Amino acid sequence: MRTNRYPAFLWLLLTALLSPLAAGAQADISYENAFPNLTFDLPVEIQHAGDGTDRLFVLEQPGRIKVFPNDPAATSAETFLDLTGIVSFSSGQEIGLLGLAFHPDFASNRYFYVYHTRQSSVSGINVELVLARYRVSATNPNRADPASRLEIFSFDKNQRESNHNGGKIAFGPDGYLYASLGDGGGGGDPQGNAQNLNTIFGSILRIDVDLDGSNPVETNPDAPNGRYEIPSDNPRVGRSGLDELYAWGIRNTWKFSFDDATGRLWGGDVGQGVLEEINLVRRGGNYGWNRFEGTRTYRSATSLVTTPEVKPVYQYNHDNGDRSITLGYVYRGRLTNPAIKDKLLFADYVTGRVWAMDYNASTGAGTAQLLFRTNGEPVSSFGLDEAGEIYFSEYDRSGSIFRVIDENDSTPTTTAVDGIGEWQALGSGISGVVDALATDGGTMYAAGDFAIAGGRTVNKVAVYTTGQGWRALSTGSNGRVSALTVGTDGRLYAGGSFTTIGGVSARNVAVWNGSSWQALGSGTNGAVLSLGTNGADIYAGGTFVTAGGRTVNNIAKWNGSWSALTDSGSGVAGTNNEVRSIAFDEAGTLYIGGNFGSAGNRTANRVATFDGSRWGTLGSGTSGFVQAIVVTNDNIYAGGNFAIAGGKTVNRVARWDRSGQSWQPLGQGVSGNVNSLYHDGTYLYVGGSFETATTRDNQSYIVNNVARWSDALQWQALGTGKSVGTNNLVNTLVPVEDGLYAGGNFTTAGAITAGRVVRWSQPDCRLIPYVNINRTGWIQATTVPIESGDEVWFGPQSVDFGTTSSPWSYTGPNNFTSTGRSLRLTDVGLDRGGDYTVTNTDPDGCTASLTYTIEIDDPTIPIVNGAVYEMEPQHDTRLRLDVRGGSTENSTLVDGFRRHGSANQQWKFISLGNKVYEIEPQNAPGKRLDVAGVSSATNTEIHIYDRHGRNNQRWQALPVGDGTYRFAPLNAPDNRLDIENVDGVPRALSRTLDRGNSQRWRLIPVGSAVASRLSPVATASTQPALSADFTVYPNPVTTQLTVESRQDYRLELYDAAGRRILMGRYTEGVSQVEMGGLPAGPYVVRLIRSDDHVATSVRIVKE
């Protein structure tokens, strides 16, 4: 039940700055799932028809409208209208079915209106904005008539960007239809639409859809023509500009609402990167974008097309992780709680915080009170029912509809857990928001929007060392510094939104050479939000079109001069929207994340790759912006504000499996935005604006803005006891010895006071994996390839592990458990193969965990039910199990006798299930191999006897792992079928288990006694190694190993020391594995099915 809005639209184009809203929550205002039996596919609007039927309508962004009764017991929602074949939709973008409005006379005329996007027919343009009218079926009120469609207007965008399409339509008290259209997209309104009265973008439109002659018909040149009228009192009628305009200077008002009691029109305008605002929308108002973002000057060079600009009634910044406003309604329902009564409710999509704003008409200003914070449910829309009760939608592929309630806290349960490690302050810290950190040996650099560090004036960027504390780097910057990286040359590179740094002119990017700042050429024409290093090359990402005067589109490379990253196929450089994160793999491939939908003119949903020539992506990408990327040998980790990656619900953090080429969740993700990732080789550390992290089994742990993940231990909180995490958002994480540095906008970390930057550390309580095979000496290895019957001794050695009274815990295959400092396994058979994990936690919360894997070759011939075999003891392979003298009498003894091929040496195996068999001599059908006297004592004679079905005639077949079996009588399960000389005769006995070869039996199918025998795989052989679905050959191998498979599988190759030296995924059929470059010697091939179960392990020899 978690999600985000960027996942399907990025109403905001954020960055990170901030200023707090009222924090005191009204405890008795909460929310509950209004319709527990219903979920919706990316819901973006909730409406009622106003016709007295008390139904609710929910818009699903992919193109459907669902309708259902306003009843908590509702079990299904009908499809009211399906427009999936008409609208353009792409998960994670601000396109699709966005708005719904019912005509004021809907009860009689049955008209309703939808606002959606579709693919533009104009070359070079992606999006067309469409308003269309439909009529409800005359016979079924829960069905619209698709044939009744009438397009009212359609406008092609004037740029390629797909975002900032507004999305709200509604009828006002005056009966006219209002529509919000964003500025058309791209960072900073690159087309200047919001201050252009000759375009519909960046405005609120007002039109008369009744076409009854009460107003003049529109004359807009865009088709279709003549489908609506222009209200005669619209502010631009008879003047310059478009007649449809009602208000302008708007960035992207995702939601607006009318207060029927007062007639006021409230609009929530999503900010660029610093401020979110609530506007009281008035006729002819200019709301200032893009000269202003809220009350802040954004682009001073922009001239207002009309003056004066209208200031927001209320605004909030991003300092607490809030980044995208979702406006609601003034609550006029039945609840009388003063916290919400007659107040305007709104939410932030990213954090899930919900407030109520009280408007003071005499001052024209509002004040807001925090009501609650959702448990990770992004609020994509509010809605009212016919009684005025207020709801909100969760933006998710299976999103719910919630009701705001009083005196009933139904917030999902979370669990406080003990943290690990400890937090340490760095002096008095920093006075403002920290956006970026970087380390270089014992030196740590910090940057953001602050003036003071450690009591010293530093101006946006500072340096910290243990010996000297905080210091300035020259005179600092005149604007925010958002990104840092240390080059291979040891120099510090900084990016942000500045024009001077250290007294030097530099446009948004610069380098510190150890004594002074220097510009990187002429810099960029927009903000730099991310930096990365690959060899001598420095990469910059952000919201800019040019770097060094060259068109680069949001990403560029510096190596003494600026260059674009241009796709060799399309000829297009960069991305179609901002870049927020940069990383590289070991081959130098570039990975970027951000808020884009294409790279090099190729589809790339928020994550892209560049190999130096062509742009690519990772699967279908993510459904929302990617703020952070980190690369390991096995995975690409991504974090941000997405709910979905590769079609899977992941909740803001996910990994791309580099070998499997697919996205995977980390448990059930976290409850809020992820800003930073760091991987130390064992754990992934995650920082952002979230309260909880949820495990695979749906346990939501309170972690407070920072946590770490491992597959073995899942999510863990950081801190001492239950004082974990930070009290506000974390923007950046970087490594330091034994831990990490964290920066953001917090004032406490764990139980300590911390000024927005802090250190977390933990003793190095890792385990060193020592193992001893057959007492040949201790070696370091986690993968243990052995022969069946070997002895294995695990003796992990701990590093800096505190004294603990709790025992070390071992778990293994077949529900194996043990405790103790070490683990010794003797006579290891196939049932002992697999993974063994040892775990303990010391009193400081340091958890040590290690997994060993025992690999045992298994060339054993499967026993076929009803098949007849000769039974060959392995201490003397000339012998066979033999009914003495060929007798058919009861109690005839069974011996070992030289092979002669007669029926008294042939035995039929009759399966009873679970590897248990009755064994019938073929010279005496009806009789069974029998433990004399049902005795469980050792050295009991074996004879044949009439079948009676008791346990002394039932034998469990235990594969040894070398092609042979041991057989245990069920009446004495600790005994084995054995051959032992008694009075000079090799007598068959039931004897206590030992490691002797006389208890190992090879089954030779009758009729193919030679051809069916397989030598142990450990012995070099030109015969193929077999399992049920796999054939591996040749063995020995010189250059190329061939695998024939009936299913997809993963192959892992280990050397004699247990080190994995190769891993790859293969499809069914015939595949080759190159081994020519490997040293001669023994290897183990491990074949793993797609369900992650080991199919077989084969020991081979490389010559």
Question: What's the CATH code of the domain at 394?
Answer: 2.120.10.30
Question: What's the CATH code of the domain at 473?
Answer: 2.40.10
Residues 172 and 289 in one domain: yes
For residue 416, being part of any structural domain is answered with no
**DSSP per residue over 483-550, as a string?**
EEEE-TTS-EEEEES-SEETTEE-SSEEEE-SS-EEE-TT-BSSEEEEEEEETTEEEEEEE-SEETTE
Q: Decide which of 759 and 1008 is more confident.
A: 759
Residues 819 and 926 in one domain: no
For residue 557, being part of any structural domain is answered with no
For residue 623, being part of any structural domain is answered with no
For residue 641, being part of any structural domain is answered with no
For residue 688, being part of any structural domain is answered with no
Query: pLDDT for 1019-1071, tens place per residue?
Result: 333 334 444 577 888 888 888 888 888 888 888 887 765 566 777 778 888 88
What's the rounded mean pLDDT across residues 634-651?
90
CA distance 131 to 155: 9
Residues 891 and 946 in one domain: yes
Residue ending a domain, among 1005, 1022, 1042, is 1005
Query: pLDDT for 453-506, tens place per residue?
Result: 999 999 999 999 988 899 999 999 999 999 999 999 899 999 999 999 999 999
Please, are residues 422 and 756 in contact by the beta-carbon 8 Å criterion?
A: no
What's the predicted TM-score (pTM) here?
0.58
CA distance 838 to 846: 14
What confidence tier does 672 reach under pLDDT thresholds 50, 70, 90? confident
Residues 958 and 1074 in one domain: no
Residue ending a domain, among 988, 1005, 1022, is 1005
For residue 154, being part of any structural domain is answered with yes
Residues 290 and 336 in one domain: yes
What's the rounded mean pLDDT across residues 110-123?
95
Question: What's the CATH code of the domain at 823?
Answer: 2.60.40.10
For residue 765, the model assigns a pLDDT of: 62
For residue 282, being part of any structural domain is answered with yes
Closest CA to 762 of 424, 416, 417: 424
Residues 357 and 463 in one domain: no
pLDDT > 90? residue 567: yes
What confidence tier does 1017 reach under pLDDT thresholds 50, 70, 90? very low
What confidence tier does 802 reach under pLDDT thresholds 50, 70, 90? low
The 10 Å Cβ neighbour count of residue 337 is: 16
Q: Measured on CA atoms in the order 138, 140, 144, 145, is the torsion positive or negative?
A: negative
Please, are residues 96 and 116 in contact by the beta-carbon 8 Å criterion?
A: yes
Please, are residues 375 and 700 in contact by the beta-carbon 8 Å criterion?
A: yes
Cβ partners under 8 Å of residue 192, min gap 6: 290, 302
Torsion, Cα 980 984 985 986, to 10 degrees, reads: 30
Residues 847 and 882 in one domain: no
Query: pLDDT for 260-305, tens place per residue?
Result: 888 899 999 999 989 999 999 999 999 999 999 999 999 999 999 9
Residues 147 and 266 in one domain: yes
pLDDT > 80? residue 888: yes
CA distance 538 to 1072: 40
Residues 391 and 474 in one domain: no
Residues 932 and 1041 in one domain: no
Question: What's the CATH code of the domain at 927?
Answer: 2.80.10.50
For residue 395, being part of any structural domain is answered with yes
Residue ending a domain, among 519, 538, 559, is 519
Structural domain count of the chain = 5
Please, are residues 422 and 750 in contact by the beta-carbon 8 Å criterion?
A: yes
Residues 811 and 951 in one domain: no
For residue 801, the model assigns a pLDDT of: 55
Domain with 947 in it: 867-1005
Residues 830 and 890 in one domain: no
